[in-house]
Structures are given as structure tokens and as C-alpha cells.
Chain A
Amino acid sequence: MSEVILLAVTGAGLGAIYFLVASGLSLIYGLMGVLNFAHGVFLSLGAFLGLEVAQRLGASSWTGFAVSLLVGALAGAVFAALTERVLVQKLYNRHIEQVLVTVGLGLAAVALFDGIWGTDPRFPRGPAWLDETSTIGGANIPNIVFVAIIAAAAVLAAIVLFLKHTRYGMIIRAGVENRSMVTALGIDVRNAFTLVFTIGGAAAGIGGVLASHHFGYVSPMLGQTLLIFAFIVTVIGGLGSLIGAAVASVLVALLQQFANFYLWGTGDFAVVVLLALVLLTRPSGLMGRKA
């Protein structure tokens, strides 16, 4: 029993990290039709800068950890906003070119990180409590898992509140629903685009700092590796659906954990099989709109 609890809770933790990456991807795709291949590098940059700051402030202090989360979020947000303004927005309404530009940015940025931080993984240290475990129903669960789940829940709540109760949130929701109608009403959606990129980048940056503690390392490829699972999560959840992304994140991570443990380490395959099944039965994803 404790085995199942352990797998379920750590799975939820992994799902939380997937969600932090996938939420931005899903919003960006929903509003702009852009599959953002540079989303992983927002995450990596957040993780690296978070690590640097935490080391300066004392890696094992709580202040250091909190500031590293903040710096990660900021780094991701700024990088994402710049990406949108400098590259993506210039290719207005040319979706494939927008995707290609993010592909190029992903390549260039990973190479740059290689040059700055080296290709070898670096190992972040956090407050001692993060490395300890808590016991739930006989299962010893690393505390970082709880932090990841709480952070993801907070980000989800913040984004939902923002989308539901602010003017810009309303524009974004309407834009996801029908962009040309919003434009026809005389609302400039371009600021909404930048905003969506910024929010997504911030979530990815937080995800980066948490992922570095969760997996115990940071490398230039970390973001791009997680990105692929985030893609799968977004497709399964339904492109453009935030709640779909949240549900699918947990589903995918749980499946991965259980398959890795009970089915001889076949977690990644189980995920791909799930993807194929979902596409064959519901091509628009679990919560996506009918195309």
C-alpha cells in the first residue's frame, strides 16, 4: 500500500512540474496557434539563474530558495516577453514561421547555455528540509514533492483568477475562443499575446527552479527534455485548455510513475501509447474543443 501512495504522490509532484511547463504552452497555443519550441529554454534559464542567485545568498537558507523561485519566474517572464516582442510578433499571422523561429531560438539558447554553464549537470542545494522526507500512510515522500504540488496549484489558481477576473484575462479568454472576433471589436490583441508569453515564461521559470530540486540537477538540455512531455500533456489535455493541461499533467505523470515501477521501466512508452489512444478516440484531446 505504501508503495502505491509513494508512487501516487511523487507522480502528482512530477505532474505539477509538467503542468508548470504545459500551462504556458497551452495558453500560447490556444491564443496564437504557436507551438513554442523555445518554452523549454525559458525553464532552463530560470533554473540556472535561480541556482546562481541561491548560491550567492546561501543555498541552504529559505530566503535563498524563495528568492531563487522569484528570480526563476522573473527570468522566464523577461526572456519570454522579449521572445514574443522581438521574434514572434514580427511574424504576425505566419504561424509556421513563428514556430520555426522558436525552434531556432531553442537551438541557439541551448548552445549559449552550454557555453556559459558547461554541458555537465550542476547540482543545486536547497534548504535541508527539502531533502528530508515526510511519512504519509507508511510512505516516505521527499518534501520537495509537496512544494512542487503547492506551487503548481498556486500558479493554476493565479492564472484562473487572472483569466476570470481581469480585463486582460477576459481578452485572452475571448481571444482563445475566437481571435478574429476580438480583433474586429477593436481590441488590440498584441498586448494580450505578449502577456500570455510572459505568464507562460514565468510559470516555466518557477517550474525550472522546482525541477532542478526535484530531479537534483540542472543542465542546458533539462528544459527541452521536459518540453517534450509538456507537448504530450498539452495534446492529451486538449490544445488551449488550461484545466485540460492540469488534468493531463497529473494523468501522464501518474501513468509514467506506475508503468516505470510495475511494468519494467516502460513509463515513457506508456505515455506515448496513451497519446496514440487519445488521438485515435478523441483527436481534439480530453478537454479540447471539437475542431
Chain B
Amino acid sequence: MTAMNTQKADEKVQGKVAAMRKAARAPQDGPGSQGTRSRLLALIVPVGLVVLLACLPLLNISIPGVLPGATYTPGTLHMLALAMVMAGVALSYHLLFGVAGLLSFGHALYFGLGAYGLGIVMEKLELGLVPAALVVIVAGLVMSTILGAVSLQVTGIPFAMVTLAFAQAGFVLVRKNPGGLTGGEEGMRLPTDYVPDWLVGVADTRNLYWVALAALVLAFVIVTWVQRSRAGHVAEAVRENELRVQVLGMRPFLVKLAIFVSASVIAAGMGMVHLLLNSGAVPHTMSAEFTISLLLMVVLGGVGSRWGAVAGAFVYVILSQRLAVLAQSSAIDDLPAVLAIPLSEPMFILGTIFILVVMFLPGGLAALGLRVRALFSRRARAELDEGTRTPGELVQEDGQQP
């Protein structure tokens, strides 16, 4: 009896000491390193989420108003797969904008390169899906290295303009339909002869859904790895103070180029999945609006947060699809024109939400999550007090004002 009691008391004391140690350590350590339990939790939550997402096509779950139908139906799976593809591209944009502070307006170029490139390579070189994908990845590497090297001659706003100009050249090229390759305004159809049967057709939406999920997980892993690599850390340092990094003897240009190229290649990869998912490519995937929608997702989710980028993409895709359905409903039609016209334009609503988030919710959805948690936990409140970062703080400004 007594032995057990002392043992219990010992455990209690040890527990207390551990808790005190933890409490003493917590303020110094950043979030994410609060002991093994939370580290385990940080692993379990994403893995559980992926498993859940992977099981969705086999389940019958309906969320009225959010999903167009039960989770096993092709319509819902297609929408979710699209959201996952967009989340993957948004993650690559996070690498550019959130990590390296590079505000690009031409990221769509590489996404479009993936989509169009894969189709063209399969059809013209008569290659199978996998070899064609490798060719496109190499093409994306080469192109982003060259264009990135030119664009990175300037920083800040001029960089945004230059990337925009390059993407616009691609957009014009695709719409001109050179040599009948891209199908012009109409877009290009997926050459199904070179794609495995299990990836073609509405009945196989489930398989495409899993491909999209795998691509998203892969993108997340690569982005995490790049961000935590030496280059990622230097890129963050360059974002804060380029001159200091230079003084330390490192080459900011090369680091920024490395981030630019990896983000572009991931975007090209997601573009290829998009081609398969939509059985074709349209010029819109290369347009400035597409890049702007990526920017929207990242800012909506919270700049600088990987989960924010993913959440922002899901919210964006689901909102834009559901708002489009809402726009055609009779409830909207019956309203007076003053209300009916704005409400029937999904982009109007999304644009307005975006403006409101930028003005009143710095840190986006990620900060909103933190705010909700702050109501219950002191730690989250402390994190919030440190200040959620605004996009501007994450971007290297021109330094035109001393």
C-alpha cells in the first residue's frame, strides 16, 4: 500500500516538475515544440485528415449547402479534387509569397505549362503519361530557371510586373493556337489514348480524386521540406533583410531563384493533374486572373501559413462553385436588381470578401482560428499578442522610402 502511495506521489511530483519545466520552456520555444504529446498530435492530425479524405469516396456523407451531393458522387468528388489541386498550387504560391516574399503575378504560367505541356507532349511525341510528365517537369525546370533569372533582376513591385508580363506572353501564345497545338480560345482536349484507362471518364472520378489527394500530399511534403531546408531559411532571412544576408556572404539571388524554380515545378505538376481532372486545358489556366485567384487563396488563408494556404484554397473553390449555383437560383432572381446583380456574380462576392480580409483580418483564416482558440487558451492568446503577420511584413518592399 505505502509503496504504491509513494510511487503515486513520486509520479505526481515528477509530473509537476515536468509541467513546470514545460511551462518554463514554453515561452522561449516557438509554437510546435511543446513536448512530445503535441508533437505527436501535430503528426496525428494531418495523417488522420488525409486518411479521412482518402476514405471519402467510399462513404456517404452529405453536407447540404457546402457539397453538391453525397461524398461518393462524381460531382462532389470532382469539386473536392479541384479544391485539392488548387490547394497544391496555393502551397507553391505560399513558397513564393509567404516564404520568400516574392509577389509574383505570373505563377499561372507554370501551372498552364503543366496542363498544356502534358497534353501536347503526349500527343506530339506519342509518349505515355509518366514519361510525358517527366519531360514537362524538365521543361518547367528550364523555363522557370531562365525566366526567374530575368525577373529576379528586380525586386518588389517591378518583380510583380515583370512576372505578369511573361505570363501574359504565355496567355497570348496559348490563345493564338500556334500550329493548332493549344486549341486557342476553345482549349485543348486531353489526348485520352495516352492516358491509362482508369484515369479517364466520369466513372473514374474516384481514381482522379485519389491522384489529386496524393499530389496535394506530395506538394505539402515538398513545400515543407523546401521551407525547412537551408535554402528555405535563407530565403526567409532574405525576405527580412536582403542586405544583411549578402553581408554574411550568401547569395540571395541564387536562393530566391531556387525557391522560384521549386514553386514553379510544383505548380507545373499540379497543372498536369488539372489536365487529367478536367480532361482538358483552357487558356484561363494561364491568365493573370488565375494567379490573382491564387493570391486570393493565400491571403484568405493567412500569408505565411501552409495550412492557411490549403484552407484558403478549399474555401475559395467551394465558395466560387456554390455561389455560382446560388447565382442561378430563383431566390436571387426575385430580388430587386440592386441586390440581384451583385449577388449573382460569385467573383464580386469573393473580391469583396478579399478586400474585407485584407483590411480587417490580417493573417486571414489562420489568424481567425487563433482568435477563436484565444477565447479558450492562454497560449493562443499569447501567440496572438505577438501579432499576426500581415502580408506586407512578409514581402520585401522596394525600400524606396528610407
- Which residues from chain A sit less than 8 Å from chain B, CB to CB? 29, 33, 35, 87, 90-91, 94-97, 99-101, 103-112, 114-116, 179-180, 224, 228, 231-232, 234-235, 239, 265, 268-269, 271-272, 275-276, 279-280, 283, 291
Q: B161 touching A33 by the CB < 8 A rule? A: no
Within the assembled complex, what's the spacing in Å between the Cα atoms of A33 and B400? 8
Q: Interface size on B (CB < 8 Å)?
A: 48
Q: Closest A-chain residue to B150, C-beta based?
A: A276
User: CB within 8 A of B344: which of A107, A115, A268, A269?
Assistant: A115
A107 touches B350 (CB 8 A): yes
Instruction: Report chain B residues within 8 Å CB of A111.
Output: 345-348, 351
Listed A/B pairs (21) with beta-carbon separation below 8 Å: A35-B160, A91-B358, A94-B390, A96-B103, A96-B391, A97-B358, A97-B392, A99-B103, A99-B157, A105-B351, A105-B355, A107-B350, A111-B345, A112-B341, A112-B345, A116-B341, A224-B288, A232-B165, A234-B161, A268-B172, A272-B166
**B36 close to chain A: CB less than 8 A:** no
| A99 surroundings in chain B (CB, below 8 A) | 103, 157, 160
Q: Is the CB of A95 within 8 A of B341?
A: no
Pick the contact of A231: B165, B355, B390 (CB < 8 A).
Answer: B165
List chain B residues, Cβ under 8 A from A276: 150, 162
Contact of A279 with B350 in the complex, beta carbons under 8 Å: no
Are B164 and A115 in contact, with the CB atoms below 8 A?
no
- What residues of A have a CB within 8 angstroms of the CB of B165 in the complex? 228, 231-232, 235, 271-272, 275
Given the known interface contacts A108-B348, A115-B344, the answer about A239 and B157 at a Cβ–Cβ threshold of 8 Å is yes
Q: Are B401 and A33 in contact (CB under 8 A)?
A: yes
Is there a chain A Cβ closer than 8 Å to B183's Cβ? Answer: no
In the A-B complex, list the 3 residue pairs whose CB atoms are closest, starting with the nearest.
A108-B351, A107-B351, A111-B347
In this complex, the member of A105, A232, A279 whose beta carbon has the largest number of chain B beta carbons within 10 angstroms is A279
A134–B271 alpha-carbon span in the complex (Å): 50
- Judge whether B328 is part of the interface by a CB distance below 8 angstroms: no
CB nearest to B303 among chain A residues: A96
Do the beta carbons of B153 and A283 come within 8 Å of each other? yes
Known: A94-B392, A276-B150. A228 touches B168 (CB 8 A): yes
Q: Does B299 contact A (CB under 8 A)?
A: yes
Contacting residue for B168 out of A106, A112, A268, A283, CB 8 A: A268
Determine whether B80 belongs to the interface, using a CB cutoff of 8 Å to chain A.
Answer: no
Report the bound CA distance from A136 to B273 in whole Å: 55
Task: Check B402–A104 contact: CB distance below 8 A.
Answer: no
Q: Which of A115, A180, A234 contacts B341 (CB 8 A)?
A: A115
Is the Cβ of A100 less than 8 Å from the Cβ of B351? no
Q: Kindly state whether residue B352 has any CB partner on chain A within 8 Å.
A: yes
- When C-beta atoms are compared, the residue in chain B nearest to A235 turns out to be B161
Partner of A280, one of B150, B169, B354, B400: B150
Closest to A37 in B: B292
Q: Is B383 an interface residue (CB 8 A)?
A: no
Q: In the complex the two chains form, what is the Cα distance from A104 to B292 in whole Å?
A: 9
- What would 4 more interface pairs be, CB under 8 Å, given A95-B397, A180-B401? A96-B103, A100-B354, A103-B292, A272-B165
Residue from the list A107, A234, A272 in contact with B169, Cβ < 8 A: A272
A-chain residues with CB within 8 Å of residue B346 when the two chains form the complex: 111
The answer to the question of B213 belonging to the interface, with a C-beta cut-off of 8 Å to chain A, is no
Q: Which residues of B contact A29 (CB under 8 A)?
A: 157
- A263 to chain B minimum Cβ distance, whole angstroms, is 13
The answer to whether B299 touches A100 (Cβ under 8 A) is: yes
Residue B295 at the chain A interface, CB threshold 8 Å: yes
CB neighbours of B166 from chain A (8 A): 272
Q: Which residues of B contact A179 (CB under 8 A)?
A: 401
Residues of chain A within 8 A of B341, CB atoms compared:
112, 115-116
Distance, CA A146 to CA B346, complexed state (A) = 40
B402 close to A180 (CB less than 8 A): yes
Selected contact of A96 from candidates B153, B355, B395, B400, CB within 8 Å: B395
A104 touching B157, Cβ below 8 Å:
no
Q: Which residues of B contact A112 (CB under 8 A)?
A: 341-342, 345, 348
Cβ distance A52 to chain B, nearest Cβ, rounded Å: 16
Question: B residues within 8 A CB of A103?
Answer: 292, 295-296, 354
Interface flags, B328-349, vs A, CB<8A=1, else 0: 0000000000000110111110
Shortest A113–chain B CB gap in Å is 9
**Which chain B residues (345-380) contact chain A, with CB distance < 8 Å?**
345-348, 350-352, 354-355, 358-359, 362
User: Which of B169, B299, B342: most chain A Cβ within 10 A?
Assistant: B169
CB contacts (< 8 Å) of A104 on chain B: these are: 296, 351-352, 354-355, 358
The answer to whether A107 and B397 touch across the interface, beta carbons within 8 angstroms, is no
Does B22 sit at the interface, judged by CB under 8 A? no
Please measure, in the bound complex, the distance between the C-alpha atom of A228 and the C-alpha atom of B299, giving whole angstroms.
Answer: 22
Given A33-B398, A35-B160, A108-B347: A96 and B359 interface contact (C-beta under 8 Å): no
Contacts of B400 in A (CB 8 A): 33, 291
Query: Given A96-B391, A100-B299, A104-B358, A235–B345 Cβ distance below 8 Å?
Result: no
Which A residues lie within 8 Å of B345 (CB)?
111-112, 114-115
Residue pair B154, A108 in contact (C-beta under 8 Å): no
Docked complex Cα distance between A270 and B351 (Å)? 33
Complex Cα gap A291–B362 (Å): 30
Minimum CB distance partner of B103 in chain A: A96
Of A100, A180, A268, which contacts B358 at CB under 8 A? A100
Give the residues in chain B near A271, CB-CB below 8 Å. 165
What are the interface flags for B289-306 relative to A under an 8 Å C-beta threshold, 1 for contact and 0 otherwise?
A: 100100110010000000
Residues of B contacting A101 in the complex (Cβ-Cβ under 8 angstroms): 355, 358-359
Q: How far is the CA of A94 from the CA of B397 in the complex (A)?
A: 10
B390 engages A87 (CB within 8 Å): no
Min CB gap B360→A, angstroms: 10
In the assembled complex, which residues on chain A have CB atoms less than 8 Å from the CB atom of B160? 35, 99
CB distance from A239 to the nearest CB of B (A): 7
Smallest Cβ distance from A281 to chain B, in angstroms? 10
CB distance from A150 to the nearest CB of B (A): 29
**Complex: A235 Cα to B166 Cα, angstroms:** 13
Which of A91, A239, A280, A291 is close to B359, meaning CB atoms less than 8 Å apart? A91
In the assembly, what is the distance between CA of A214 and CA of B25, in Å? Answer: 69
How far apart are the CA atoms of A206 and B358 in the complex, in Å? 30
What chain B residues lie within 8 Å of A95 (beta carbons)? 157, 392, 397-398
Q: Which residue of the partner chain B has the closest CB to A180?
A: B401
- A residues in contact with B157, CB < 8 Å: 29, 33, 35, 95, 99, 239
